[in-house]
Amino acid sequence: MITIAIPLYNEAESLPELMDWIHRVSQDFGLELEVVMVDDGSTDESWNVILELRKKYPYLKGIRFSRNYGKAAGLQSAFAAASGDVVITMDADLQDSPDEIPELARLIREEGYDLISGWKKKRYDPISKTVPTKLYNWATRKMSGIELHDFNCGLKAYKAKVVKEVELYGDMHRYIPVLAKRLGYTKIGEKVVQHQARKYGTTKYGLSRFIKGPLDLLTLSFVSTYGKRPMHLFGTLGVLSFLLGAVMFAYLAVSKLFAMYHGIAAKNIATMSAFYVALTAMIIGSQLFIGGFIAELVRGTDPGRNRYVIEEEVGFSE
């Protein structure tokens, strides 16, 4: 079975056409599908449309959040509910083509890929979106070592075990390939996919994503390296800072004692700027070291990052 995971927010107009397209593809290729739509707190008629569509498509399942939690929470919820051996994600705005489903599933099942990322080589987006996206993808490639052209493409395919183990939070849905590689799933490929111009509504992502994206990438890079051993970073910096301050302080003290012993006039240590630099370095070093211990305690007691409230579900207990 193939699970199609579709997070959505205020996409009531596009859902009937999207489901009709998915159903047509499943019939043409004889695919066994389940579709999991996650309504991320829509304020339009999206949930009512999902309920109506279920009457026509029994394999459609729906999850409704109590409020808008973001795409990462929507995907995480869909991943938890997925029962297929292949999970394919796509956006609900009709910009991702369901015609890509058979080949994406084949690449996972027959070619043995852990993850296939779509590449919208020809995009129907304004230059204000395409240029920052190219820069973002370049930075992600350099930082992650994963040679993908389009990390943010919503159309991706996964082995089921990948999505069951990946933990999403914040806006980390952009970095699922990076998270998967961090877990040891290294057979990651890409496929050129068709990109459609938006037919209904407006984009749900503003300019803020170009600020949040790089910040999330830095966070992910830090967490990937030191998330399980924060003391290695904070402790090392703390020890180096403290030792630097201690060496400077020892030098000043020895110099003062040497001068006193030989009757040489010397400045009062407390009036020397080097004394305060040394003192500050020792204080900062101590704080970093303590911060490392606190980070270790927090890491050991963190109950989890994902918190979302599901208000309603349909299709899972039948």
Nearest to 157 by CA among 203, 109, 123, 124: 109
Is the residue at 307 inside a domain? no
The answer on 149 and 129 residing in a single domain is: yes
Is the residue at 315 inside a domain? no
Predicted pLDDT of residue 306: 54
Domain that holds residue 281: 230-301
Is the residue at 318 inside a domain? no
- For residues 249-274, give the mean pLDDT: 83
Task: Give dist(CA 160, CA 157) in Å, integer.
Answer: 9
Predicted pLDDT of residue 222: 66
Final residue of a structural domain among 207, 226, 245 = 226
SS3 39: strand
Predicted pLDDT of residue 157: 96
Predicted pLDDT of residue 305: 53
- Write the single-letter amino acid at 91: D
Structure tokens that stand for 41 in this block: 């707190």
Other CB atoms within 10 Å distance of the CB of residue 185: 19
Task: Give dist(CA 82, CA 79) in Å, integer.
Answer: 5
Distance of CA 88 to the CA centre of its chain: 17
The answer on 135 and 74 residing in a single domain is: yes
Nearest to 156 by CA among 61, 87, 257, 64: 87
Is the residue at 313 inside a domain? no
Predicted pLDDT of residue 212: 65
At 38-53, the pLDDT tens digits run 999 999 999 999 999 9
pLDDT at 213 over 90: no
Is the residue at 316 inside a domain? no
The answer on 194 and 293 residing in a single domain is: no
pLDDT at 205 over 70: no
Predicted pLDDT of residue 224: 63
How many structural domains are present in the chain?
Answer: 2
Q: Rounded to the nearest 5°, which phi and psi values hold at 215?
A: -65, -40
The domain that contains 154 carries what CATH number? Answer: 3.90.550.10
At 158-200, the pLDDT tens digits run 999 999 988 887 677 888 898 888 888 989 999 998 877 666 6
Q: CB neighbours of 262 closer than 8 A, spacing ≥ 6?
A: none
Is the residue at 306 inside a domain? no
Q: What is the pTM of this model?
A: 0.71
